[in-house]
């Protein structure tokens, strides 16, 4: 049917068109802009929900247009795409609401929301890309449209951060391009195939395949913030809080991690990749990143920087889960894509609330803030405990499956890494929670804005509470149908057992 | 005969701008309406011609009854058609832009129109000519019109730049003409197709080849013969810079490519690698120089030097796989659109701020959003990010380079892209920050912003229509890909 | 052979001489003259190498080319002279700056 082949395109357009219209709107037309933003976000969510149902029934949605003579522009909705597209659609809606409140009255909002929508378009494209070329296309688009968001404030620091961002991501894109071209010249195809399409490649080409794997992983590793390619992420903190939320939880970092997932599962195939012996180094690199990120996070006083290093560490759980190669570890890695998103976005929303309401940027300034902003800090606490991995919050599920999966394939060292990381997570989050709830403020709060009956603007508060709620629900109700965990089981079943 | 009906449109492509030039010279008061009408008519004829040649056979038209071997033939295939389309589209954009740009200097507009339409005549005639002497005449006419236009800005920089440009292009033309004289002596024809049949490796052929290449390389500004280009292109008026960088250098490149493909197919042993090395040096040197510039238009001019380098990196790649020519043509085409858009956007910023110092661009992102978007989108194509036309060009080149394990060339191609990103985003970054010393600002007419944006967008869209564009390239098989007899 | 060879050699000599002048002299008028000498050299080569019809008459096509070339050269010289005067008028001297002052 025609709508089946155009549905992925519609998902793209649901954020692309509002974005383009918003660019043309004058700064003052707040109401039209807000309506368009929310309309786009809700439409996208509705379209995605419709597809989730059909994909679960075993349908595939595909849009295919000719791009180069033997290479198509392909958008595909398979189970894996659904996982990422749903996450981005859901969190886009929440972040849009948050951004509307956060940027109220600040200049250049048309530009901001325009690029914001383009950013989500690119993320949806990354999620739905049906071959490596289409993936590359949206991946580079993502790099470009996030740049104006990072430098949005127009200060010298923002310009520097923007340059650092590009200095990492564009060369990363180049590695990706070389890898992609090379892969194409070796195989003549780039279409993502469940369980990979490289098994039939001649043995003599295997060294080339190994080199290509590392080129591609390094390309994606820049955005996935694998060390030593992580340097841009802490610097990008000068961006407004909704942008940080987007960078860390929804779009950029996740696009990198998703790229690694695609490479291992749909290009090489997990089993073939482990036969080539390329997954073990990746697992070790991911483990080092996990520990390094957590260690660096310990010593940051700036709240957003601490969260940034925490992201570096947490995103590598996804890579680790993929690189261990086993059905259970896969579940842990893939489900963390969603869980980390929910928890990290909560934390960034809360950090934004603190900065926006009380002008707090540093952890040392957070003494006793729990009494002033109890709901925000409750959400923060949920996010932080989830990151540590305390049941029943979502983070626990990820770590549990990662640990089990590692034991299943006999990689018990991973469990040690997980324990060490959990201790480190506790070491950098628990003191914050202690300061927040059990210390008295040492000086009166400087109130940036005044809100009558609530601790802060409701558009800032509700998104944080909503995502915190989702993080708890994803953990508590994990075994119900249509939860992230169940969906990931469905994917893993296709990848390993069919 | 089908071919002659098709080439009536080709003849129209020469006669239209020629009569337009005369009319705008005679009726100065209505020069702008006449000029824009002529530009539109040229576009219609180009579309018609493109339609005819892609559905029918490749035409050849003896002008005035003088068929080969005497000359004067007109000839169209995919290669020349692509460049005709390129000049039609960019030409129309410049025709719409220039009247607004020169609105406070009407006396310049009076000179601009006839000169620009003469240039367009020479350009179209050059792409359509099928004999090497005719090509000399059109090349010379092109240079004279281009120099006069470059001098139009009137400043000391512009005049000295134009003077140097004139001397260099006369030198280049004379070298070329001497080569023509030698070839004519040896083979008694100036028709390209006949030459292709008759030419054999001999000292006189090599001498002619060397002279013609040297002349054309000088005119195409291949490193290290690029010294004249940045001052001439950067100090001209914005629409003139755009047409110099986008169109005029492509004309001599086209001629070089045509001779290489048709005439000197078997006498160019080893030269391809030398050209590739100079091309690679141009890519790196031009990009590094662009990074060092403090003025926007000079940055863009050096970027042209770098991008022209890519067109020569192709030669060693095409020696192993003729598909690389398609990449070169794709790069030339998207560079024309993108570079014209960049110069026009730079013209807007220059007009708006009153200067083009990069660090004092002063928040043009919110003051001239369309121009900055045009600059950034054009930059995307110059860098070669997907899905722009520049990306397709680089993809085709990389495919050849990687498939034949020519890693050195592959590295040059991608490093050039990274350097391009560095200089494009240097400009874009400063467009977000406020300047230390602010200036009085001037309004920029909307049409100027939109023209730049439309050109930049089309350089992106070019990448999305790759299948059709590549099909057009193949009309008449200019690169010998279909027949499989690629030059080895 | 001998006369053909002689004319061609003389033409190439003029071409090289002109090239030398173009590079060596700073004054624009001299450069323009040098270009003209180079042009004459090329025309001489064209004319000298034109003796190739079997009945001994000169090849008319070569001559047509030379005439066309001369017309182009006259136009180019005129433009160059005007431009030189403009340069002299604006900068006060008829030479090109050694180094760009950007």
Confidence band of A484 (pLDDT split at 50, 70, 90): confident
Where are chain A's structural domains?
1-277
Confidence band of B61 (pLDDT split at 50, 70, 90): low
Q: What angle do CA A365, A237, A440 make, to 5 degrees?
A: 10
Kindly identify which residue of chain B lies nearest to residue C5, measuring between CA atoms. Answer: B185
Q: What burial class does residue C10 get, using C-beta atoms within 10 Å of its C-beta: 0-12 exposed, 13-18 middle, 19+ buried?
A: middle
Kindly identify which residue of chain C lies nearest to residue B173, measuring between CA atoms. Answer: C39
Instruction: Evaluate if residue A193 carries a pLDDT over 70.
Output: yes
Instruction: Evaluate if residue B5 carries a pLDDT over 80.
Output: no
In-domain check, residue C63: yes
**Distance, CA of A351 to CA of A379 (rounded, Å):** 11
In-domain check, residue B95: no
A171 CB neighbours in chain B (<8 A) are 418
Contact A313, A364 (CB under 8 A): no
**Distance, CA of B289 to CA of B306 (rounded, Å):** 9
Confidence band of B1 (pLDDT split at 50, 70, 90): very low
For B73, the 3-state DSSP assignment is strand
Confidence band of A277 (pLDDT split at 50, 70, 90): confident
pLDDT at site C2: 66
**Distance, CA of A224 to CA of A226 (rounded, Å):** 6
Spell out which chain B residues touch chain A, with contact meaning CB-CB distance below 8 angstroms. Answer: 363, 365-366, 369, 380, 383, 385-387, 392, 395, 398-399, 402-403, 410, 414, 417-418, 421, 425, 428-430, 432-434, 464, 466-467, 470
Contact B356, B444 (CB under 8 A): no
pLDDT at site C75: 93
Kindly identify which residue of chain A lies nearest to residue B377, measuring between CA atoms. Answer: A144
Q: Which chains touch C (3 or more CB pairs under 8 A)?
A: B
pLDDT at site A362: 87
pLDDT at site B488: 36
For a pLDDT cut of 70, what percent of chain A falls above it? Answer: 97
Q: DSSP letter at B191? A: B
- Contact assignment for A140 to B399 by CB distance below 8 Å: no
Each residue's pLDDT tens digit, C79-89 = 999 999 999 99
pLDDT at site B2: 41
Give me the mean pLDDT over the B305-333 stretch: 93
Instruction: Evaluate if residue A256 carries a pLDDT over 70.
Output: yes
B176 CB neighbours in chain C (<8 A) are none
Confidence band of A450 (pLDDT split at 50, 70, 90): low
In-domain check, residue B144: no
CB contact A171 to B (< 8 Å): yes
Q: Which chains touch B (3 or more CB pairs under 8 A)?
A: A, C
Domain of residue C86, residue span:
2-91
Interface test with A, best of B364, B367, B421 (most A CBs within 10 A): B421
In-domain check, residue C98: no
Confidence band of C37 (pLDDT split at 50, 70, 90): very high
Each residue's pLDDT tens digit, A376-399 = 889 999 999 999 988 888 888 889
Q: Is the bond preceding A392 in cis, omega lying within 30 degrees of 0?
A: yes
Most confident stretch, A60-64, A235-239, A390-394, C27-31: C27-31
Q: How many CB atoms lie within 10 A of CB A187?
A: 17
The 10 Å CB-count burial string (b at 16+, else e) for B369-380 is bbbbbbbbbbbb
pLDDT at site B486: 44
Give me the mean pLDDT over the C8-25 stretch: 92
- Contact assignment for A171 to B425 by CB distance below 8 Å: no
Provide Rg for chain C, Cα atoms: 17
Interface test with B, best of C11, C17, C90, C93 (most B CBs within 10 A): C90
Contact B472, B47 (CB under 8 A): no
> H-type helices in B384-435, by residue range?
389-403, 407-432
Q: What is each CA distance from B18 to A74, B5, B14, B15, B123, in whole angstroms?
A: 47, 21, 6, 5, 11
Lowest mean pLDDT among A37-51, A208-222, B55-69, B89-103: B55-69
**Distance, CA of B462 to CA of B441 (rounded, Å):** 34
pLDDT at site C101: 41
Two structure tokens written together for A286: 């991911």
CB contact A147 to B (< 8 Å): yes
Instruction: Evaluate if residue A428 carries a pLDDT over 50.
Output: yes
φ/ψ bin of A195: left (φ > 0), alpha (ψ from -120 to 50), beta (otherwise): left
Q: Is the bond preceding B124 in cis, omega lying within 30 degrees of 0?
A: no
ipTM of the complex model = 0.94
pLDDT at site A494: 74
pLDDT at site B218: 94
- Contact assignment for B163 to C22 by CB distance below 8 Å: no
Distance from CA of B416 to the nearest CA of A (A): 11
Give me the mean pLDDT over the A146-154 stretch: 87
Give me the mean pLDDT over the C2-28 stretch: 89
> H-type helices in C49-59, by residue range?
none
**Distance, CA of B232 to CA of C102 (rounded, Å):** 13
In-domain check, residue C6: yes
B136 CB neighbours in chain C (<8 A) are 69
Contact B394, B384 (CB under 8 A): yes
DSSP structure string for A266-283: III-HHHHHHHT-HHHHH
Query: Which residues have CB under 8 Å from A12's CB, separation 6+?
Result: A75, A121, A124, A125, A128
**Distance, CA of C66 to CA of C52 (rounded, Å):** 16
Interface test with A, best of B358, B408, B432, B466 (most A CBs within 10 A): B432
In-domain check, residue C19: yes
A-to-B residue pairs, Cβ atoms closer than 8 angstroms: 80
Domain of residue B400, residue span:
270-488
* H or E, element range at A288: helix A279-298
Instruction: Evaluate if residue B6 carries a pLDDT over 80.
Output: no
Each residue's pLDDT tens digit, B324-343 = 999 999 999 999 999 999 99
For chains A and B, tell me whether 3 or more CB atom pairs sit within 8 A of each other.
yes
- Contact assignment for B137 to C68 by CB distance below 8 Å: yes
Instruction: Evaluate if residue B34 carries a pLDDT over 60.
Output: yes
pLDDT at site A155: 85
Of A108, A171, A184, the CB nearest to B399: A184
B433 CB neighbours in chain A (<8 A) are 154-156, 158-159
For a pLDDT cut of 90, what percent of chain A falls above it? Answer: 24
In-domain check, residue B2: no
Give me the mean pLDDT over the A92-109 stretch: 85
Contact B459, B338 (CB under 8 A): yes
Instruction: Evaluate if residue A58 carries a pLDDT over 70.
Output: yes
**Distance, CA of A475 to CA of B326 (rounded, Å):** 55
Give me the mean pLDDT over the A214-239 stretch: 88
For a pLDDT cut of 70, what percent of chain B falls above it? Answer: 93
**Distance, CA of B276 to CA of B311 (rounded, Å):** 9
Contact A220, A256 (CB under 8 A): yes
In-domain check, residue B35: no
Give me the mean pLDDT over the B189-204 stretch: 87
pLDDT at site A239: 82
Give me the mean pLDDT over the C56-83 stretch: 88
In-domain check, residue B239: no
CB contact A141 to B (< 8 Å): yes
Confidence band of B382 (pLDDT split at 50, 70, 90): very high
**Distance, CA of B340 to CA of B336 (rounded, Å):** 6
pLDDT at site B35: 94
The CATH number of residue C10's host domain is 1.10.287.3510
Give me the mean pLDDT over the B79-97 stretch: 95
The structural domain count of chain C equals: 1
Q: What is the mean pLDDT of chain A?
A: 87
Distance from CA of A175 to the nearest CA of B (A): 9
Kindly identify which residue of chain B lies nearest to residue A23, measuring between CA atoms. Answer: B369
- Contact assignment for C102 to B293 by CB distance below 8 Å: yes
In-domain check, residue C84: yes
The structural domain count of chain B equals: 1
CB contact A177 to B (< 8 Å): yes
């Amino acid at each position: 049917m025609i709508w089946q082949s155009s549905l992925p395109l519609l998902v793209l357009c649901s954020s692309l068109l509002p974005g383009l219209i918003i660019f043309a709107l004058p700064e003052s037309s707040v109401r039209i802009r807000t309506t368009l933003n929310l309309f786009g976000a809700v439409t996208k969510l509705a379209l995605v929900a419709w597809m989730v149902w059909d994909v679960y029934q075993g349908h595939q949605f595909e849009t295919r247009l000719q791009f180069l003579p033997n290479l198509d522009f392909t958008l595909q909705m398979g189970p894996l795409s659904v996982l990422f597209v749903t996450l981005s659609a859901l969190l886009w809606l929440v972040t849009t609401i948050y951004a509307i409140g956060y940027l109220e009255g600040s200049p250049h909002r048309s530009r901001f929301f325009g690029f914001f929508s383009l950013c989500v378009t690119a993320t949806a494209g990354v999620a739905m890309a049906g071959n490596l070329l289409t993936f590359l296309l949206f991946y580079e688009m993502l790099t470009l449209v996030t740049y104006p968001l990072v430098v949005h404030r127009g200060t010298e620091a923002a310009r520097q951060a923007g340059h650092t961002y590009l200095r990492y991501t564009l060369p990363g894109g180049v590695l990706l391009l070389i890898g992609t071209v090379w892969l194409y010249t070796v195989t003549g195809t780039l279409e993502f195939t469940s369980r990979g399409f490289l098994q039939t490649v001649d043995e003599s080409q295997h060294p080339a395949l190994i080199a290509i794997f590392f080129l591609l992983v390094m390309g994606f590793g820049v955005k996935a913030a694998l060390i030593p390619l992580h340097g841009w992420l802490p610097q990008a903190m000068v961006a407004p809080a909704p942008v940080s939320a987007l960078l860390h939880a929804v779009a950029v970092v996740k696009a990198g991690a998703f790229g690694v997932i695609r490479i291992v599962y749909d290009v090489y195939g997990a089993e073939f990749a482990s036969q080539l012996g390329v997954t073990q180094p990746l697992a070790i690199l991911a483990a080092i990143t996990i520990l390094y990120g957590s260690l660096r996070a310990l010593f940051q006083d700036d709240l957003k920087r601490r969260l940034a290093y925490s992201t570096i560490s947490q995103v590598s759980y996804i890579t680790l889960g993929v690189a261990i190669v086993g059905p259970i570890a896969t579940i842990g890695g893939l489900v963390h894509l969603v869980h980390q998103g929910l928890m990290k976005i909560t934390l960034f929303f809360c950090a934004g609330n603190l900065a926006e309401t009380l002008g707090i940027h540093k952890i040392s300034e957070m003494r006793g803030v729990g009494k002033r902003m109890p709901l925000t800090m409750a959400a923060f606490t949920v996010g932080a405990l989830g990151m540590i991995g305390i049941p029943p919050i979502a983070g626990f599920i990820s770590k549990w499956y990662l640990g089990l999966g590692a034991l299943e394939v006999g990689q018990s060292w991973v469990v040690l890494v997980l324990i060490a990381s959990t201790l480190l997570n506790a070491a950098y989050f628990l003191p914050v929670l202690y300061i927040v709830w059990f210390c008295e403020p040492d000086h009166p709060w400087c109130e940036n804005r005044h809100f009558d009956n609530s601790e802060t603007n409701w558009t800032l508060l509700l998104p944080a509470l909503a995502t915190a709620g989702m993080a708890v629900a994803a953990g508590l109700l994990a075994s119900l149908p249509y939860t992230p965990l169940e969906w990931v089981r469905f994917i893993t079943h296709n990848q390993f057992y069919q | 005969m089908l071919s002659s009906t098709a080439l009536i449109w080709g003849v129209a492509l020469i006669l239209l701008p020629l009569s337009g030039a005369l009319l705008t010279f005679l009726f100065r008061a209505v020069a702008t309406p006449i000029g824009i009408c002529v530009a539109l008519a040229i576009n219609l004829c180009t579309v018609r011609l493109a339609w005819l040649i892609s559905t029918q056979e490749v035409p050849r038209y003896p002008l005035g009854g003088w068929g080969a071997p005497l000359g004067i033939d007109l000839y169209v295939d995919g290669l020349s058609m692509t460049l005709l389309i390129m000049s039609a589209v960019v030409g129309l954009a410049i025709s719409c832009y220039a009247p607004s740009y020169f609105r406070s200097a009407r006396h310049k507009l009076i000179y601009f129109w006839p000169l620009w339409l003469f240039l367009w005549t020479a350009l179209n005639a050059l792409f359509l000519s099928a004999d090497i002497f005719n090509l000399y005449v059109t090349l010379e006419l092109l240079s004279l019109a281009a120099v006069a236009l470059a001098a139009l800005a009137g400043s000391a920089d512009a005049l000295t730049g134009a003077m140097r440009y004139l001397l260099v292009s006369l030198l280049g033309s004379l070298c070329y003409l001497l080569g023509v004289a030698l070839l004519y002596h040896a083979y008694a024809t100036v028709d390209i197709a006949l030459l292709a049949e008759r030419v054999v490796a001999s000292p006189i052929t090599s001498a002619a080849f060397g002279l013609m290449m040297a002349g054309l390389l000088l005119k195409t500004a291949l490193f290290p013969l690029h010294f004249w280009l940045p001052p001439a292109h950067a100090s001209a008026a914005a629409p003139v810079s755009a047409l110099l960088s986008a169109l005029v250098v492509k004309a001599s490149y086209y001629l070089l490519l045509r001779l290489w493909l048709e005439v000197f197919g078997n006498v160019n042993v080893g030269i391809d690698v030398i050209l590739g090395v100079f091309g690679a040096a141009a890519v790196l040197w031009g990009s590094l120089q662009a990074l060092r510039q403090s003025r926007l238009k000079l940055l863009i001019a050096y970027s042209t030097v770098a991008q022209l380098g890519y067109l020569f990196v192709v030669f060693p790649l095409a020696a192993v796989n003729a598909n690389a020519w398609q990449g070169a043509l794709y790069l030339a085409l998207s560079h024309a659109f993108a570079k014209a858009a960049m110069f026009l956007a730079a013209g807007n910023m220059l007009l708006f701020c009153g200067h083009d110092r990069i660090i004092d661009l002063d928040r043009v992102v919110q003051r001239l959003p369309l121009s900055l978007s045009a600059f950034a989108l054009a930059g995307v194509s110059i860098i070669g990010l997907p899905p722009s036309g520049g990306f397709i060009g680089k993809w085709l080149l990389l495919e050849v380079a990687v498939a034949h394990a020519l890693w050195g060339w592959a590295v040059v191609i991608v490093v050039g892209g990274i350097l391009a990103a560095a200089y494009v985003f240097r400009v874009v970054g400063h467009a977000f920050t406020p300047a230390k010393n602010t200036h009085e600002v001037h309004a920029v007419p909307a049409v100027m912003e939109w023209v730049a944006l439309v050109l930049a967008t089309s350089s992106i869209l070019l990448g999305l229509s790759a299948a059709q564009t590549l099909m057009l390239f193949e009309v008449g098989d200019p690169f010998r890909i279909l027949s499989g007899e690629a030059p080895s | 052979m001998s006369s053909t060879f002689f004319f061609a050699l003389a033409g190439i000599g003029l071409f090289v001489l002109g090239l030398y002048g173009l590079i060596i002299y700073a004054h624009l008028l001299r450069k323009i003259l040098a270009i003209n000498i180079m042009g004459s050299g090329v025309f001489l080569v064209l004319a000298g190498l034109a003796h190739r019809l079997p009945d001994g008459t000169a090849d008319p096509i070569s001559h047509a080319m030379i005439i066309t070339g001369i017309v182009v050269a006259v136009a180019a010289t005129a433009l160059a002279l005007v431009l030189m005067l403009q340069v002299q008028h604006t900068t006060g001297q008829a030479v090109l700056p050694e180094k760009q002052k950007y």
